[in-house]
Chains A and B, each alone.
Chain A
């Protein structure tokens, strides 16, 4: 059973608008959450993370929101740019180190110029 779920396999957004990617998790022990971005023919690259002691973390155009009671997190990209077109993976961890890093299935974001 998947502990991290990304229910939207794809998302299309106009350039300049906000992109919102969603992620849900089932394990209440998860306390560290990450977003990775993956271009075709490349490995995933780390984008942004958030610890469960926070409900928001911002880095430039990227903001991650965490709602622990709903077991939900989201990644906001604003303004969206064509170069943001990629697959975005949500991941979660419950223990020290990354041995137990659980990934979602990914959401393909397409930013339309």
Chain B
């Protein structure tokens, strides 16, 4: 099994829809992250959870709502999105207590908002 699994791989949704992205990790890491990758832009950190507690919200609009019910799962709930929210959404995990610990990424969810 891969270390970080994201579902769905692809998602097309209208601006009035509500959907959720799911991330599951099997690495025992204590930190989980949501990143957004838009075309020709660097990966943008959206949210950080350490030990299931949200420790960072990088000025993300409220139409994105994260949830971390346990140390293995992370969700990103989406509602009333805009076309400019179309992007690749990547989940990552790491050991926040371990300096210099690289992040492990999932394969991402390619989101298209119509």
Main SS of chain A's interface residues? loop
**Residue in chain B with minimal CB distance to A4:** B42
Instruction: Determine whether B4 belongs to the interface, using a CB cutoff of 8 Å to chain A.
Output: yes
Mark the stretch among B14-22, B67-75, B91-99 that contacts chain A. Answer: B91-99
Query: Is A105 a contact partner of B90 (Cβ separation < 8 A)?
Result: no
Query: Is B42 a contact partner of A101 (Cβ separation < 8 A)?
Result: no
Instruction: Determine whether B31 belongs to the interface, using a CB cutoff of 8 Å to chain A.
Output: yes
Residues of B within 8 A of A97 (CB): 31, 50, 94-99, 101
Contact residues on B (Cβ < 8 Å of other chain), bracket: 20 to 34
Our count of residue pairs bridging A and B at CB distance below 8 angstroms stands at 67
Query: Is B31 a contact partner of A46 (Cβ separation < 8 A)?
Result: no
Contact residues on A (Cβ < 8 Å of other chain), bracket: 20 to 34
Instruction: Determine whether A7 belongs to the interface, using a CB cutoff of 8 Å to chain B.
Output: no
Given that A49-B100, A98-B101 are known contacts, is A43 also in contact with B106, CB under 8 Å in the complex?
Answer: yes
Query: Is A43 a contact partner of B94 (Cβ separation < 8 A)?
Result: no
Given that A45-B105, A98-B94, A105-B42 are known contacts, is A32 also in contact with B56, CB under 8 Å in the complex?
Answer: no
Q: Can you give 25 contacting A-B residue pairs, CB < 8 Å?
A: A2-B42, A32-B100, A36-B105, A42-B107, A42-B108, A43-B90, A44-B43, A44-B105, A46-B103, A46-B104, A49-B100, A89-B42, A96-B99, A97-B31, A97-B50, A97-B95, A97-B97, A97-B101, A98-B33, A98-B94, A98-B101, A99-B45, A99-B48, A99-B50, A101-B103
Interface residues of A, Cβ cutoff 8 Å to B: 2, 4, 9, 32, 34, 36, 41-46, 49, 51, 89, 96-99, 101-106
